Structure 1
Amino acid sequence: MKKKTIILYFVFCSFLLQAQNKPNIVIIYADDMGWGDVGYHGVDDILTPNIDALAESGVYFTQGYVSSSICSPSRCGLLTGVYQQRFTNGQNSRDEDPNMELFKQQQMLPDILKPADYYTGVIGKWHLGADESLRPNARGWDEFYGFLNGSHSFYKAEKKFTRIREYWPIFRNNEMVDYEGYTTEVFTDEAIDFIRRNHPTKTETPFCLYLAYNAVHFPWEVPDNYIQRVSHIKSRQRRLFAGMVLAMDDGVGKVIDELDKQGLSDNTIVFFISDNGSPQGQMGNMSSTGPFRGWKGDCLEGGIRVPYIIKWPGQIEQGSRYDYPVINLDIMPTIASFLNLKKKSKYQFDGVDLLPYIKGEKSTEERPHETLYWRRGKDMAIRHGDWKLVVEDKNATADTMLFNLAIDKGERRNLYHDASKKVTELRQLFEEWEKGLAPQQ
């Protein structure tokens, strides 16, 4: 073998080793899946064997939160590691956000992964802006396959923007493409194809895949074969919902299987989270927030406490359970800290690196977060320790509630009139936090 060939061979092996040492990243974000919609939480009607297996192979969080009780702001928090109210109005549409320029300047996950040579892709629901300047490719992602808006038919898409938003186009990068199939299955197939094409031994770079299913969001549609597999459920509405969950669970299983087939499982981090809690009763007892009060759109536990799992071979012990509060804001800084990646932004992470807590490197009494905040419109909440203050401004009639979650996780007993000093303390903490937010307009 010639000397030049030998040198090139060792250079290639060096690049390959570097790629293999950097973990691949798969973030699976479910849509409107409540705490009571997964089997590993002790739910006995819903079938989620693959999600349950994921929980058993890593750590699951009994107090896993998201930074918003609705879809789009929650995704902002996930992909930035920053409370979205610092650069948005915390509402639903990025295209109409008066703080648009702040949002465009905010660094996202690809911005910190690119210097580490990651190849990145989004599959599924984007919901962070339909304007070309806000789409995934413009925000640093290498690939995009999916839809831009918040709700989409599981079966039909037009190659144009229509008045019926559920039929908006499916895109491959910035091109509208023909669509046929059931979105949950199609997004799974696209994810598998992404993994195969971007296998680090083929590309010399690790990958980050953000798989954002639109299951189990409205419209509630699913092929009959999934409904037949949950025929034990008597309620027609719950059976329909369980079929949609099962289709997504099958997809999660296929993605994990593909990582196994490609020999990537031992060097791939997998996150599974829902973007917010279940929607309230549009179709009776369809979905469940488990023992918690409140639904999607609420700052009560049912709107913001969700399934939350991390599988990280070599870093997290299998079958672990973590009981202190964590939040979706923690995903990005956990990745960044492990990879020693710098975040250059006017906003520092609000999330934290979870690994020292999960691995027991911190005191068992030390929490990742002493205080967590939520604000959407006139609704707000703050959790400090185990105390939680909630102000709901439904129909312009404010309802202020104080709970101690250590003894009342279901938020059934309002202590507002019994602990006025605690109410004042939490209000002051919240007002101090608000000083660092973008203006509400």
Structure 2
Amino acid sequence: MTPSYDRSSAPQPRAGLSRRTFGTVTAAVAATVAAPAVAAPAAGAAAGAAQAAEPRERPFRAARGRHSRRPNILFILGDDLGWADLSSYGSPHIRTPHLDRLARQGVRFTQAYSGSATCSPTRFSLYTGRYPGRTEGGLAEPIANKSVGLEPTHPTLASLLRDAGYRTALIGKWHCGHLPDYSPVRSGWDEFFGNFGGALEYYSKLGLGGEYDLYEGDAEYKDLRYYTRILTERAAEYVQRDHDRPWLLNLNFTTPHWPWIADGDTERSAEIVRRIKAGEPGALWHQDGGSVEKYTQMVEDLDRSIGRVLDALRGSGQEKDTLVVFASDNGGERFSYNWPLTGNKGSLQEGGIRVPTVVRWPARLDAHQVSDEPVFSPDWTATLLDVAGARPHPAHPLDGTSLAGHLLRGEELPERPLFWRVRGERALRRGEWKYYRGKDGRDRLFHLASDQREQADRASAEPALLGELRARWERIDAGLLPYPAVR
């Protein structure tokens, strides 16, 4: 599959897409990586009338030129954001102009996936570039106690980039283990400001167990303002610094994860805090709260917050040389808009793992592009290491494939399987076909190009293909850690 232009200000997935490859011109990204530059990005157009310019090749730029520098990397994660929860992905009621603009300025992926169906396994897959099942902490779906986490000895995106000369920071949700044994600052990030657990109440910062969960480094930090505001301020401050070397910032919002509390909902916050302190089990899960309207407020607030960070980046003069990736950690929850996909968070159906994903790098990528190429979280790890001139650790080979050649040189990605495993479910995608086994133990086969909704089971019509994909899944699974016995 090759990228195409995106010719609308609020593009609808796979609707009327013309086909073209990325324009390319040779230039070096770093001394250790030969990554040709591409045509200059098309200028942005007014909303509702965006038209992509044809690619214009530019002269070769030597390594000392502006476009040869290694990029800063800003990787932004939403939390439980559904595939179609952005207006640029088809939401009929949520307006996300800042993320839509980001999509127009770069590449919008229509078939991008998370590394797993819940929070912490996906983060493991992004930080390590490997299947979650390769590490003990990745077997927790998600991490809910302090017994497991991302081992500090395991190489990470941050540690490998730091070894290659990058500054590294993580702002927001970690969810890869708890103190005293696990922490971002022990796994390669120079700085950490955020929460360790899977969820917290947005004002009080109380977590699932009623503990306070806002930290700077490994020390508690008191701030009782709305959490999304705090993270936005911190991220804007970071990107505006006078950095003396390229940097990586993982910006992990908790929005729009439950509890569904928008900025200003102090009465609802106080009610949930009262219930948490009274020892009510599951008070933070907010099973009796939320609404489509409240969810819409939270997603639109996330969009505005990201817009403020991107404005700060532009004001710092670093926008052109910063590679920005936006994605979600898994599919949406109860109030998400996932049409036409089936399933949601926790499931390996498309709605549980297909996520909105946008990449922008003004110095190197044309604007107004759409890619239908299937990609998933570990691919981004491989890609970012590639363009930064960092090498994976030989003892911990990556499961992802670098997209640098696809994005920067218009190369076709090799056909490879995308693999997922969660307790009770399995899935593997190869090309346009997906093998899926649900909790009922029944093997299914779907042709996603004609059946995104996974309703037409082709297992009986294509038994040989079903057996081939099942065998491929089982070969990969055989190399992973087994799940511990359920007690």
How has the CA–CA distance of structure 1 residues 103 and 345 changed in structure 2, closer, same or farther, with 3 Å as cutoff?
farther
Distance 2:292 2:77 in 1: 21
Structure 2 counterparts to residues 41-440 of structure 1, below 5 A? 41-88=89-136, 89-94=138-143, 103-157=151-205, 164-165=208-209, 168-197=212-241, 199-200=242-243, 204-223=244-263, 237-279=291-333, 281=334, 286-362=335-411, 366-393=412-439, 397-440=440-483
2:119/2:142 contact within 8 Å kept: no
Distance 1:175 1:48 in 2: 35
How has the CA–CA distance of structure 1 residues 93 and 426 changed in structure 2, closer, same or farther, with 3 Å as cutoff?
same
Higher helix residue share = 1
Question: Is the partner of 2:172 in helix, strand or coil?
Answer: strand
Cα deviation for residue 431 of structure 1 reads 1.1
1:401/1:414 contact within 8 Å kept: yes
Question: Is the partner of 1:35 in helix, strand or coil?
Answer: coil
Amino acid at match of 1:245: V
Question: Is the partner of 2:347 in helix, strand or coil?
Answer: coil
Distance 1:130 1:18 in 2: 41
Cα deviation for residue 170 of structure 1 reads 0.5
How has the CA–CA distance of structure 1 residues 95 and 167 changed in structure 2, closer, same or farther, with 3 Å as cutoff?
closer
How has the CA–CA distance of structure 1 residues 19 and 54 changed in structure 2, closer, same or farther, with 3 Å as cutoff?
closer
Cα deviation for residue 21 of structure 1 reads 2.4
How has the CA–CA distance of structure 1 residues 147 and 84 changed in structure 2, closer, same or farther, with 3 Å as cutoff?
same
Cα deviation for residue 308 of structure 1 reads 0.4
1:30/1:273 contact within 8 Å kept: yes
**RMSD over aligned Cα atoms:** 2.3
Structure 1's unaligned 5+ residue stretches are 1-15, 226-235
Amino acid at match of 1:407: S
Distance 2:106 2:294 in 1: 29
Distance 2:420 2:200 in 1: 27
Residue identity over aligned pairs, in percent, reads 31
Amino acid at match of 2:99: I
2:71/2:387 contact within 8 Å kept: no
1:30/1:216 contact within 8 Å kept: yes
Q: Please report the TM-score for the alignment, with normalisation by the length of structure 2.
A: 0.77
Q: Deviations over 1:161-202 (max 9, x none)?
A: x7x4365321011111112211111100010111223x32xx
Q: Deviations over 1:402-429 (max 9, x none)?
A: 1111211111111222222222111110
1:58/1:320 contact within 8 Å kept: yes
2:112/2:375 contact within 8 Å kept: yes
Cα deviation for residue 94 of structure 1 reads 4.9
Amino acid at match of 2:256: V
Distance 1:335 1:273 in 2: 14
Distance 1:130 1:99 in 2: 8
How has the CA–CA distance of structure 1 residues 209 and 166 changed in structure 2, closer, same or farther, with 3 Å as cutoff?
farther
Cα deviation for residue 369 of structure 1 reads 4.6
Q: Which residue of 2 aligns with 1:230?
A: none
Amino acid at match of 2:326: F
Distance 2:481 2:114 in 1: 19
2:143/2:198 contact within 8 Å kept: no
Question: Is the partner of 1:373 in helix, strand or coil?
Answer: strand
Q: Deviations over 1:302-332 (max 9, x none)?
A: 0000000110112211111101101111112
Distance 2:420 2:160 in 1: 26
Structure 2's unaligned 5+ residue stretches are 1-63, 266-289
How has the CA–CA distance of structure 1 residues 402 and 440 changed in structure 2, closer, same or farther, with 3 Å as cutoff?
same
Cα deviation for residue 81 of structure 1 reads 1.2
Distance 1:440 1:347 in 2: 20
Distance 1:357 1:157 in 2: 41
Distance 2:420 2:193 in 1: 31
